[in-house]
Amino acid sequence: MCGIAGYISFKGETDYGEALQRAIARLRQRGPDNQASVRLSAKTGFAHARLSIIDTSSAANQPMHDSSGRYTIIFNGEIFNYRELRQKFLPDVVLQTTSDTEVLLQLFMRMGKGCLQYLNGFFAFAIYDAHTGQTFLARDRYGIKPLHLYRDAEKMFFASELKALLEFPVQREIEWNVLPVFLQLNYVPPTLSMLKGIRKLPPGSYALCDETGQYTTGKYYEIPYTPGSKPDAGGMSFEEAKQKLHDLLDEAVKRRLVSDVPLGAFLSGGFDSSIVSACAARHTPHLHTFSIGFRDEPYFDETYYANLVAKKIGSEHTVFSIANEEIFACIDDILNYIDEPFADPSSIAVYVLSRQTRRRVTVALSGDGGDELFAGYNKHRAELQARENSALNFLIRAGYPVLRLLPGSRHSALGNRLRQLLRYSEGLRLSAKDRYWRWCSFQSQEQVLRLLSDKVKYDEAAIDAARDELTRYISPNGTLNDVLYSDMHLVLPGDMLTKVDLMSMANSLEVRVPMLDYTVVNFAFSLPVHYKRDGSDGKRILKEAFRDELPPELFTRRKMGFEVPILKWFRKELLPWLEREVFDEQWIEEQGIFSVIAMRDLREQLFSTQPGDVQWILLSLLSFQRWYRNYYLSGV
């Protein structure tokens, strides 16, 4: 795992070498083992920060050149099948290292963009061709590894993180139509950016840019699924499909065990991490697994189940029992590291787990992706029920005015049930597309716009258009597979993968996600909905495929997200953060983005008996305000 950065000056009149040095310094946590840069021509420069995983020798440092000096690569990620690719396509090539980087470079030299279809891994890389002056950029199929881009008439910059990109002379202008979208979702969708002119290279895409400014893009991968279709698993029975899924996932985990440094696995006690850990334990003697326990918050502590799984699979399990004070001490580091507004509260837990795990290993496996592939979220159950023309749905829809008055909250079993019931009632009143968007969001567009000052010049029609584009795969006559397909394009790269990448890289830890092996994803989207979810039973085929390998207690427990009691903390220990950065009326007035009255109302709601989802709204505001100070004001 590494960080990359580079520039192309189309006019060749400006030397961005110093900016490149600053950019790669900002990526040091992604690559603490070596940082280097190279000026490839009068117009192009590359830089790389390395976290050594495969072939830890200095010979595998980057930027890496081929023997002729024509090609140069900088590469963030891992190619898990690089040994097989070397044997199949490069049997006569004498390599100078045992790294996957050199194999990737040689494959590109032989196949060009055609090599992408053979890569099984996660990556963002750039390759420069000195003969043509072209730079080739590519990103993995699902957006596991990030790649930010800025391009205008004179130059192009790229980097693994936005904070590195902003070390270049990038004009900083907030995209006001994106702010309301962020405040709804608590993350910036993968196709958008909070700053004008900056975008991410889309998952499964490549780009080619030469030193005159000619720029083209293309797709090399799409999930093999057509929205509105009804796949039938190729005629396989449930039992046959279950066995195939078991074998595919087992092989995906096995592929991700290649490493020249210590490797372990996250084990939360949920199904996905338990399945990944069980597969890894089958192929790794003395597998190390890790989980965190919230010493002061028993409602959110899942270590009981993690311990059961560890005992069953025979892993060497470590529980990091964390007190609240230890978590609070990390909050500033988390907020400061996030370089684009991002407010998933589980990022706190992922950060703490990554920090502790990094003290023992350099690579960890995780179970991310299972919910999006196999309909594991509560919203997936709700969507199936919402499409039924039932008397119960009629009653819940009619009961919306009463449900609005009940005290819903995520921080108790009863409060969480009331909260879910209210959101379900809201969804029943909406179209399929609007319902999907509402269930992805923490507040409605109307609520969000009331938070903003009259000085903010947004275009409501443009916001609506962005929402329509992000929900384009949802149709009234579609199936739950359309929802999962949308999740793979919106929720997974925008929220889940961003969270894991940022929080793990902040601690110089590589996290690998076997559920997102493309063979598993492709197969998952060949399955009919009832193989994945049957009424209240989410991830049906995934659970059944590994039922005999997991403790029976997992199959009767309630689903828990990887969450923290943020409402409780905002009311007490973290209140000073809010008072300083969200509720300070003088600051709000001077800034001119948010409504002072709306901030007062939120403070009152925070301490009311009906807080609703106020903690998520406040977390999004806190994240935005810290980003605004750190990454926007600092450069204007």
Determine the 3-state secondary structure of 10 from DSSP. coil
Q: Where are the beta strands (DSSP E) in 51-204?
A: 64-65, 71-79, 121-129, 134-139, 148-151, 155-159, 198-200
Q: Is 330 a catalytic residue?
A: no
List all residues 6 or more positions away from 301 whose beta carbon is below 8 Å from its beta carbon: 293, 294, 295
Edge-first strand order for the sheet with 363-365 is: 316-322, 288-294, 263-266, 363-365, 510-512
CA distances from 271 to 180, 207, 299, 456, 504 (A): 34, 37, 18, 44, 21
The DSSP symbol for 167 reads T
The DSSP symbol for 555 reads G
Give 259: exposed, middle or buried? Use CB within 10 Å, 0-12, 13-18, 19+. Answer: middle
- Torsion angle in degrees (nearest 10) through CA of 391, 394, 400, 406: 0
List all residues 6 or more positions away from 481 whose beta carbon is below 8 Å from its beta carbon: 225, 229, 230, 231, 525, 528, 529
Provide the sign of the torsion angle of the four alpha carbons 623, 342, 360, 103, taken in this order.
negative
- Which token pair is 362? 């350099």
Dist. CA 90–CA 305, nearest whole Å: 46
Alpha helices in 525-563 (DSSP H): 529-532, 540-545
Dist. CA 428–CA 451, nearest whole Å: 26
Please identify which of the residues 2, 115, 209, 279 carries the catalytic annotation. Answer: 2
Alpha helices in 213-337 (DSSP H): 238-255, 271-283, 303-313, 324-337
CA distances from 297 to 292, 304, 563, 568 (A): 12, 13, 11, 10
* CB-side neighbour CA atoms (13 Å) of 594: 29
The DSSP symbol for 265 reads E
Alpha helices in 405-539 (DSSP H): 413-428, 432-440, 445-451, 460-470, 480-489, 491, 497-505, 518-524, 529-532
Q: Buried b / exposed e across 53-85, counting CB within 10 Å, b at 16+?
A: bbbbeeebbbbbbbeeeebbbbbbbbbbbbeeb
The secondary structure element, H or E, covering residue 602 is helix 596-606
- Which token pair is 370? 């299972």
Q: Are 635 and 194 in contact (CB under 8 A)?
A: no
* CB-side neighbour CA atoms (13 Å) of 503: 27
Q: Are 4 and 126 in contact (CB under 8 A)?
A: yes
Q: What are phi and psi of 65, to 5 degrees?
A: -110, 150
Give, in degrees to the nearest 5, the angle at Cα 34 between 509 and 349. Answer: 15
List all residues 6 or more positions away from 611 whose beta carbon is below 8 Å from its beta carbon: 407, 409, 567, 605
Provide the sign of the torsion angle of the four alpha carbons 513, 519, 521, 524, taken in this order.
negative
CA distances from 424 to 415, 478, 573 (A): 14, 19, 32
* Positions marked catalytic: 2
